[in-house]
Structures are given as structure tokens and as C-alpha cells.
């Protein structure tokens, strides 16, 4: 009897452990979490923004540190990586009409109202790329209403509106270095002032020579010259001679 009870306890513990492991695995492999991990891996770090189209295996994210934007379909099997400055615009399309838009070098078209009864909500990202110029995320479709724990169309519209603001900030950030460079190149360098050379004039002849050693016109007597007084001597012819 004791062995039977022990066996039943072990089976119960094993079953609980398997149930917990299965629940943890299902939580780990949920579509939003899995796609967010893929975005993080592709961008080489924690993204600054991620948006997921739940139920369609599509997502988009960007990271400012690496200056990259990634978009993916088919659960990440089909992914494209763009440079940050390649993002040129974004549109919010509600029921096949453009409700809001941000474009580089164009005025922003803001969202006037949130349609809670919308049947189709799409976020469209535009890129400066000839092969893949755009990427669409279907955030809400009529079939989503039958999905368990599905969010409402109004929530999808608000999330897309938030991404329009992010896209505008990305385009403004990507264009800032080019403008700064242009301003630097447009500035002409100011002429540099020539440095003033500091020098000391050559030493002049010292004026500290004693008066007794100064010759005519203040000239100093040379060593072989007599420093005595000048005497006047009368020659027999009557001419004066200086000694």
C-alpha cells in the first residue's frame, strides 16, 4: 500500500513538472515573444521599438544604436534589414483609406479620429529601396475578432499612430547628421592672426663706462690708448702737438 502511494505521488509530481514545462515552453514560444526575440537578435541588441502583427507572423523593429530597421514575415523566415536613413515615410491605412501619414520633407498628416468599428487596419512603412520599397503590417482584420484574447481595432489604430510618431522621429534623427555636415562645410574658416614674435633688442654698448675712460664723443678708450690727460706741447715751429 505504501509503495502504491509513493508511486502515485511520484507520478503526480512528474505530471505537474511536465505540465509546468509545457506551459513555460508555450509561453516562451508565443508569437509576440518569439518575434521580439528575433528582432533583438537581428539588430544585435535590445530594440528601441517593436510592433507585431499578431496572427500573421509579421513584425518590424528598429534600434538607434545600430542605425538599422528590420521587417519580417512568415514568422521571421522572410526578413529584410534596412539602414535607418532608408526609412522615408509611414502610412496608417484604415479601411483602404490613408488616415494618417508622415513623410520626409513633407508636412505631417495627423490622425483626426480613432474608428473603433474599423474592419481593416494596416501600417505601411516606406523605404528608399528599389527592390523592396514598402512593407505592410496588417494589424487588424475581420477574422481577428474570433481569436481568443484578441485586442480591438481601436487598440491597433492607437499602436499604429504611436508608430507614426516613432517613424517621424527616426527620419528626423537620420537626417540631422547630413544637415550638420552641410552647415560645417558652408562656414568659411576665419583667417588666423599672425603670432607676434617676442624678442629682446640686441644689447647696446654699455653706458656705464666711467667718464675717465670715455674718449672723444663718448667713445670708450681702447686698451692701448692712454687714459691720461691730454697735454698740449709747443713745437719749436710754434705748432701745437697733442700728447
Regions of the chain short of the pLDDT cut 70: 174-243
Write out the H or E segment, with its range, that includes residue 120: none
Looking at residue 231, its pLDDT comes to: 46
Burial class (CB in 10 A: 0-12, 13-18, 19+), 197: exposed
Residues forming beta bridges with residue 94, ordered by sequence position: 97, 121
Please tell me the distance from the alpha carbon of residue 66 to that of residue 45, in angstroms, as a whole number.
8
Helices (H) and strands (E) in the chain, counts: 3, 10
Query: What are the φ/ψ torsions at residue 194 (nearest 5 degrees)?
Result: -70, 135
Looking at residue 211, its pLDDT comes to: 45
Looking at residue 58, its pLDDT comes to: 94
Looking at residue 17, its pLDDT comes to: 87
Q: Tell me the pLDDT tens digit for each residue of 128-146.
A: 999 999 999 999 998 887 8
Please tell me the distance from the alpha carbon of residue 181 to that of residue 183, in angstroms, as a whole number.
5
Looking at residue 106, its pLDDT comes to: 85
Please tell me the distance from the alpha carbon of residue 168 to that of residue 102, in angstroms, as a whole number.
6
First and final CA of the chain: distance in angstroms?
A: 154
Amino acid at each position: 500500500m505504501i509503495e502504491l502511494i509513493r508511486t502515485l505521488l511520484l507520478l503526480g509530481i512528474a505530471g505537474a513538472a511536465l505540465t509546468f514545462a509545457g506551459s513555460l515552453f508555450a509561453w516562451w514560444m508565443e508569437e509576440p515573444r518569439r518575434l521580439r526575440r528575433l528582432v533583438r537578435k537581428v539588430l544585435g541588441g535590445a530594440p528601441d521599438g517593436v510592433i507585431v502583427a499578431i496572427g500573421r507572423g509579421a513584425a518590424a523593429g528598429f534600434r538607434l544604436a545600430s542605425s538599422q530597421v528590420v521587417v519580417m514575415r512568415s514568422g521571421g523566415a522572410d526578413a529584410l534589414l534596412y539602414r535607418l536613413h532608408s526609412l522615408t515615410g509611414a502610412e496608417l491605412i484604415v479601411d483602404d483609406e490613408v488616415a494618417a501619414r508622415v513623410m520626409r520633407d513633407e508636412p505631417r498628416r495627423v490622425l483626426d479620429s480613432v474608428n473603433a468599428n474599423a474592419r481593416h487596419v494596416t501600417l505601411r512603412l516606406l523605404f528608399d529601396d528599389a527592390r523592396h520599397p514598402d512593407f505592410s503590417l496588417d494589424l487588424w482584420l475581420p477574422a481577428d475578432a474570433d481569436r481568443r484574447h484578441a485586442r480591438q481595432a481601436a487598440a491597433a489604430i492607437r499602436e499604429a499612430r504611436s508608430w507614426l510618431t516613432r517613424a517621424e522621429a527616426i527620419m528626423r534623427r537620420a537626417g540631422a547628421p547630413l544637415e550638420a555636415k552641410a552647415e560645417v562645410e558652408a562656414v568659411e574658416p576665419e583667417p588666423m592672426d599672425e603670432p607676434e614674435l617676442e624678442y629682446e633688442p640686441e644689447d647696446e654698448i654699455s653706458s656705464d663706462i666711467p667718464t675717465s675712460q670715455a674718449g672723444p664723443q663718448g667713445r670708450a678708450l681702447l686698451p692701448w690708448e692712454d687714459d691720461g690727460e691730454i697735454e698740449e706741447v709747443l713745437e719749436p715751429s710754434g705748432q701745437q702737438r697733442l700728447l
